[in-house]
Amino acid sequence: MLIRLVARLIPLPLRKRWRSRHYQIKQFTRTRVGRHSLYRLQRVPVHISEYYDFIAAGVVSALLSAGPKPRRRIYLGFSKHMSNLPAAGSKVLIQHEHTIVVGQPDFSVEKETEFHWSKRGSKWVRLQGPLQGFTDASWIVEYSAANRANLLDSDFAPFYAEKVLYIAPLLGKFRQDSLPRDVATVNTMFGSPDKGRRAAFLERAAEQGIKVGNLRGFPTIQQALESTAVLVNIRQKEYFQTLEELRVLPALLEGVLVVTEDSPYLDSVPYFEHVIRSSSSDIMETLKRAASRYEKSHNECFGGTKFTEVLEMMAASNTTQFKTIAQSRG
């Protein structure tokens, strides 16, 4: 009781400063980068950890070349963290969820309280986390070009457009001498291969005599894909239709052919011409064709210099975006 009474005597701005400072210490770890400070989350979900580390490394590199003055303080977090952080510093929100929802979501399954929904025509837009977090963020890092196009075409655009930075998930280095694999091994990377649409796909493939493995438990995506020739990308649910760039682009970097279900805004993805797209109903035939003419398909995707040029363009864009983050004062 006495502690509460004393606390009330402390000016509100000072109390807020103490609370944000305590939150920072509890949730983040400070990394010194010369005279600057980068605050990284102590706990990051496994499925996003590689991309999170990639963003952190890019920011560190940009800070090292930014010069010692003025001192900068940068936080890397998600929407739920932004409003609880100290006022001083640049707050970088990493948006890592699917936002494109086509058709009617199953609201008996989806927890509406955790998401914010907006509808235009037959398309829904889904954002996870407090909207205030997006408002309070200095920058919003987006892993998906399709997500970016989707949000810019939504009611969320007013607080999103001026802050969004698309940073392509270039998780690894492109093997410019990448030759077709000796065996056209077909794999998926399903987190839940025994559920829903993904389980149905694997059953259909087995029925049609197509051997499809599922890769799980590898330390990095790069290691998982070393022996993969063709990666099949199947949506977990019919209505979630964001292209999973966190799997697709690293696969292309490894010289792996990617067969994916078609999805909205796919043409906005810089490397869309280098994936094999198909309607959901034709996905099995598309996969058979890609595997049966594997070397020809591989040459169509990776032959010449076009894909390398696209990668160079994305890498240069990423560097620019990292510099934008590093040079902001918050």
DSSP string, 66-131: S-SSS--EEEEE-HHHHTTS-SSSEEEEEE-S--EEES---TTTS-GGGEEEEEETTEEEEEES-H
Phi-psi region of 196 (alpha: psi -120 to 50; beta: other; left: phi over 0): left
- pLDDT computed for residue 8 by the predictor: 57
How far is the C-alpha of 330 from the C-alpha of 315, rounded, in Å? 25
- pLDDT computed for residue 271 by the predictor: 97
- pLDDT computed for residue 56 by the predictor: 98
Q: Are residues 154 and 270 in the same domain?
A: no
Whether 302 maps to a domain, the answer reads yes
- pLDDT computed for residue 111 by the predictor: 64
- pLDDT computed for residue 10 by the predictor: 56
> How many domains in the chain?
2
- pLDDT computed for residue 181 by the predictor: 79
Q: Are residues 303 and 321 in the same domain?
A: no
Q: Which amino acid is at 119?
A: K
Residue 15, pLDDT above cutoff 80: no
- pLDDT computed for residue 116 by the predictor: 82
- pLDDT computed for residue 24 by the predictor: 84
What pLDDT, in 10s, does the model give residues 226-273? 889 999 999 888 888 889 999 999 999 999 999 999 999 999 999 999
Residue 12, pLDDT above cutoff 60: no
Between 314 and 24, the more confident residue is 314
Whether 103 maps to a domain, the answer reads yes
Whether 177 maps to a domain, the answer reads no
Whether 142 maps to a domain, the answer reads yes
- pLDDT computed for residue 77 by the predictor: 97
Residue 4, pLDDT above cutoff 70: no
Contacts of 36 (CB under 8 A, 6+ apart): 63, 66, 68, 71, 72, 73, 74, 326
pLDDT band at 73 (very low <50, low <70, confident <90, very high): very high
Q: Are residues 165 and 42 in the same domain?
A: yes
Contacts of 191 (CB under 8 A, 6+ apart): 47, 216, 236
Whether 229 maps to a domain, the answer reads yes
The residue segments making up the domain with residue 251 are 186-311
Give mean pLDDT, residues 39-56: 95
Whether 3 maps to a domain, the answer reads no
- pLDDT computed for residue 19 by the predictor: 73
Residue 113, pLDDT above cutoff 60: no
The CA dihedral of 86, 89, 92, 93, to the nearest 10 degrees, is 20
Q: Are residues 302 and 321 in the same domain?
A: no
- pLDDT computed for residue 177 by the predictor: 65
Q: pTM (2 decimals)?
A: 0.90
Whether 146 maps to a domain, the answer reads yes
pLDDT band at 145 (very low <50, low <70, confident <90, very high): very high
Q: Are residues 220 and 253 in the same domain?
A: yes
